[in-house]
Amino acid sequence: MTRYPSPEALDKNRFGKARVIRSEAEALAAADDVASFWRKGSARRDQVQTLPWEELEYLSHSGLNAIRLPLELGGAGIATPVYLDVVRKLAMADSSLAQLYFVDSLKGYHIDQLAKPQAKFLAEQVLQGARFGNATAERVREDGADYGATFSRDGDHYLLSGEKYFCTGSVTSHWITVPGKFADGSQAVAIVPNGAAGLELGEDWDVVGQRTTFSVSASFRKVRIPADRLIFRDDEQPLAGAVRFAQTQLVHAALQVGMGDGALQTAHRLFRQRFVAGKTRDRLAELLLQWEADSAAAWAVVQYAARKSDKALSDRLVGTHRASLAAVATDEAKSLAYVYGPQWTQRLIDFLDQGDVAEALGFDRHWRDARTHSLHDPARWRQSFVGNYWLNGRAPPDLARRLVEEQQWNGLQALAV
Amino acid sequence: MTLESLAAADVERTARQFLLGQVNSEDLARSVAGDRLGALSAATIDDLTRPSGISASKPGAAALEVVRQSVSDAVAGQHVATSLLARWLLDSFFPRGGPKIPDAEVLTYADPPLPDQGIAISATAEQQGGWVLRGKFRSAPLAREAGWVVLPAASGDITLLVLLNADAPGVDFEPDEKGFGARAAVNGTFTLRNVRIEQDRSVVLSGEASSSLASNFTALDGLFSLAQEIGSLKAALWEARDHLQKRAHRWYDASPGRVRDDPLVLREFGRWWASARAADELFRSIVEALDAGGPVLEQAHAIAVAANYVGRLSDRFMNEIFELLGASIMRRQTGFDRHWRNRSARLGNRPYGSRPVANAPDLEAHTKDAMQ
């Protein structure tokens, strides 16, 4: 039976308390350090699918979980471009663990949007190195607001019931965030401690790539949620929500670039070790330059989109134009990154020699990881959104939905005044 | 405005800013007419020969100007790049910048202007109480307009860099046959018959200083070539967008509705747009580093990487974009094919080995960067 890390286990980290990161330089240095720790054994973890407790405790200890927390909550307030670079560096070493990381730290970033007591509690958790997994995905979903989990009031607390699917980080995190809805259609997000009564995590993670995310299914049977562990987001400006959502999508793009770059790093190592001179060397040298160029191109657009999203969120009220630029820039980034990862990780084959296909060496995991991850969000749709925006001025679907909500929200704000 | 449709003016303005859009402007008409006539318009030449204060000593600003001119007309972009490089050669190699050549006078250079491995120097120099030149060499663009040409010449083990007066006795210029593209950028062959060079118009290339300057030239050449690629790409993408927005007739077996709503068109166009964004961002970050005062040589690797990406992108785009635009784009009056012809002629006219895409920096430096 799998053991889960409850919040009480935070002070049992074998590496000691979580560090506090204060600057971008410290964040990038910490990312290099964690990546170096993760790189050892990455292929083996993929092979035997061991739960990566030691690696995740090292992550919690590094302080990287809190870098997106704003300064006033004790974090480092790291800007999105640098945060994405942290994700990319980690994904180069082990994309599954990098995915667990960003699921965590993203929650940290949104904490400042919450009511003060909730924000204070969650910030303290993040600063102590707590990890937050999610139970967001639905097995069947008609639209973005269609949730399989439901909330009901029960005295001074709430009850959470339902099924979730693809719950990334649920097995390895101290807390799980669960979006759901009430009978009247209103939405909320529950913060559920791992190991809570009524929470059951499946043992059904059996996939081709990203094997150590352990994104299992979860069921919730009247899980008791204290009132202050339920987050209502009704007062969030919809366009701000659109940009924050775009940022979560952008992290996936950074992950893809990291996966491609991890394979590139391996290709460079093999190239230096094996190809000293000759026509093969020249051909592979040209291939490496193309690989690096495609990496740089995808990454340049990821960084561009990151700056656009930070710019949009720097306004007290996010405007339509800036929100749309951030959203479509994210689609542009995904249009390239989701092609770059799978396309180039498979080129690693060109650098292999006889015998390198041994399963234990794990050279195939780069492609398996990138291809698996890419399928959650088909690049062809992102590319179409970009085309539709720049040819026809039509908003990408998520933004279009939020524009409708924005009109209603504006109406409510006016009434409140 | 429908709920999902954004303010059209905002999208248009932002698209135009990104691509430096020129559709429906006089520039477009000038560019198409210039392609037909094989000559730049008088207005374009006026624009190009007006003192601008732009020089390759500020390579970021200079590269942006090359992009701007290349968007308006590919040959205008070549014109600016060639002039900038020729003047940089003069300023860098000659003592105190060499003889002063007024801004309005056009300079070009032998291509390549500096000794380059694998490309023989075909002009020879002989001491006869001063240098006397003989031989033939091919020029970079602008040879027809050029009053002055910078070229290398060999004298035994010595290599000279020479500033040649194109009107001097013994200098003949034979322009190339009319090309399929870049028609207004006339390349050709100079023939030198005992051409006497004045004392202050030659320098001996030797030592590390010359070698370092040659590396700088290669980097600058790569930067301006990249700028031309970006400019041509933007011009063609803008015109393609305009055509798609107006295109009335869809293919009979295509999905119903307007061409601009065809899901396959949207996807393809989105891919091109995102790739153009990447090209622009790679270029922008190089310019930003140069504007911050960084030497161009430090950007050599970034330039080579960007050139590799943009070169491959342009190879595909200039050919495959036609597939979206339909047979109507092949009417000669649209002039759209000039983008493919101009680019192909520009690249095809360069000597083997000096095309930036094939001229990657050494791999060890490249490897070190990628491992960080």
Buried/exposed code over B24-53 (b: 16+ C-beta within 10 A; e: otherwise): eeebbebbbebbeeebbbeebbebbbeeee
SS3 state of residue B140: coil
- Is the pLDDT at B354 greater than 60? The verdict is no
Pairing of β A157-167 and β A149-154: antiparallel
Q: Which residues pair with B132 in a beta bridge?
A: B126, B196
Per-residue confidence at B362, pLDDT binned at 50, 70, 90?
very low
φ/ψ (deg, to 5) at A226: -60, 150
For residues A285 and A268, the answer to whether their CB atoms sit within 8 Å is no
Range B37-40 contact pairs with CB under 8 angstroms and sequence separation of 24 or more: B37/B183, B37/B184, B38/B178, B38/B183, B38/B184, B39/B183, B39/B184, B40/B73, B40/B75, B40/B76, B40/B79, B40/B184
CB B371 to CB A321 under 8 A? no
Write the residue in B6, B306, B371 that is nearest to A324 by C-beta. Answer: B6
In B, which residues are within 8 Å of A402 by CB distance? none
Measured distance CA(A283)–CA(A66) in Å, rounded: 44
The pLDDT tens digits of the residues spanning B242-281 come to: 999 998 888 888 888 899 999 999 999 999 999 999 999 9
For residues B90 and B107, the answer to whether their CB atoms sit within 8 Å is yes
For residues B226 and B304, the answer to whether their CB atoms sit within 8 Å is no
Question: Average of pLDDT values for B113-129?
Answer: 84
For residues B338 and B178, the answer to whether their CB atoms sit within 8 Å is no
- Would you tell me which residues 311-350 of chain B have a C-beta closer than 8 angstroms to some C-beta of chain A? 312
**Cα dihedral sign for B262, B264, B270, B275?**
negative
Question: What are the strands, taking DSSP E only, across chain B?
Answer: 107-109, 123-127, 131-138, 148-155, 158-165, 171-175, 188-197, 202-205
- Is the pLDDT at B301 greater than 80? The verdict is yes
Per-residue confidence at B22, pLDDT binned at 50, 70, 90?
confident
For residues A216 and A202, the answer to whether their CB atoms sit within 8 Å is yes
Measured distance CA(B225)–CA(B310) in Å, rounded: 10
Per-residue confidence at B133, pLDDT binned at 50, 70, 90?
very high
In B, which residues are within 8 Å of A303 by CB distance? 281
- Would you tell me which residues 52-91 of chain A have a C-beta closer than 8 angstroms to some C-beta of chain B? none
Query: C-alpha A188: how far from its chain's center?
Result: 20
A227 interfacial to chain B (CB closer than 8 Å): no
How many CB atoms are closer than 10 A to CB A81?
A: 18
Q: Would you list the DSSP string of B143-163?
A: TTT-SEEEEEEEETTEEEEEE
In terms of Cβ atoms closer than 10 Å to its own Cβ (0-12, 13-18, 19+), residue A202 is middle
CB A265 to CB B270 under 8 A? no
Nearest-Cα residue of chain A relative to residue B11: A393
The pLDDT tens digits of the residues spanning B154-173 come to: 999 899 999 999 999 999 99
CB B308 to CB A268 under 8 A? no
B365 interfacial to chain A (CB closer than 8 Å): no
Contacts of A167 (CB under 8 A, 6+ apart): A133, A134, A135, A136, A137, A176, A201, A215, A216, A217, A218
Which residues of chain A have a pLDDT value below 50? Answer: 1
CB B371 to CB A268 under 8 A? yes
CB A392 to CB B260 under 8 A? yes
In terms of Cβ atoms closer than 10 Å to its own Cβ (0-12, 13-18, 19+), residue A59 is buried
A94 interfacial to chain B (CB closer than 8 Å): no
Measured distance CA(B19)–CA(B65) in Å, rounded: 14
Per the prediction, chain B carries an average pLDDT of 88
Token look-up 């308390």 returns A17
- Is the pLDDT at B230 greater than 80? The verdict is yes
For residues A211 and A226, the answer to whether their CB atoms sit within 8 Å is no
What is the token pair recorded at B359?
């001229």
Q: What is the CA radius of gyration of chain A?
A: 21
For residues A60 and A13, the answer to whether their CB atoms sit within 8 Å is yes
Measured distance CA(A138)–CA(B266) in Å, rounded: 29
For residues B119 and B353, the answer to whether their CB atoms sit within 8 Å is yes
Closest CA of chain A from B248, distance in Å: 14
How many CA atoms lie less than 13 Å away from A8 in the CB half-sphere? 3
For residues A307 and A342, the answer to whether their CB atoms sit within 8 Å is no
CB A388 to CB B266 under 8 A? yes
Q: Of the segments A18-32, B12-26, B86-100, which one has the largest average pLDDT value?
A: A18-32
Measured distance CA(A384)–CA(A389) in Å, rounded: 8
Measured distance CA(A274)–CA(A58) in Å, rounded: 34
In A, which residues are within 8 Å of B268 by CB distance? 383, 387
SS3 state of residue A210: coil
What is the token pair recorded at A338?
């989701």
How many CB atoms are closer than 10 A to CB B252?
A: 5
B7 interfacial to chain A (CB closer than 8 Å): yes
Measured distance CA(A395)–CA(B5) in Å, rounded: 6
Contacts of A12 (CB under 8 A, 6+ apart): none
What DSSP designation does B139 have?
B
Per-residue confidence at B359, pLDDT binned at 50, 70, 90?
very low
Buried/exposed code over B342-368 (b: 16+ C-beta within 10 A; e: otherwise): bbbbbbebbeeebebbebbbebeebbe
Closest CA to A306 of A327, A289, A291: A327
Measured distance CA(B146)–CA(B186) in Å, rounded: 10
Write the residue in B270, B304, B363 that is nearest to A387 by C-beta. Answer: B270
Token look-up 């784009």 returns B329
> So what's the pLDDT on residue B206?
83
- Is the pLDDT at B300 greater than 90? The verdict is yes
- Would you tell me which residues 277-336 of chain A have a C-beta closer than 8 angstroms to some C-beta of chain B? 285-286, 288-290, 292-294, 296-298, 300-301, 303-304, 320-321, 324-325, 329, 331-333, 335-336
Distances (CA, A) of A27 to B184, B240, B298: 53, 43, 26
Q: Which amino acid is at A215?
A: S
- Is the pLDDT at B353 greater than 70? The verdict is no
Distances (CA, A) of A260 to A95, A234, B305, B352: 10, 39, 16, 32
In A, which residues are within 8 Å of B270 by CB distance? 331-332, 335, 382-388, 390
Measured distance CA(A117)–CA(A104) in Å, rounded: 20
For residues B322 and B329, the answer to whether their CB atoms sit within 8 Å is yes
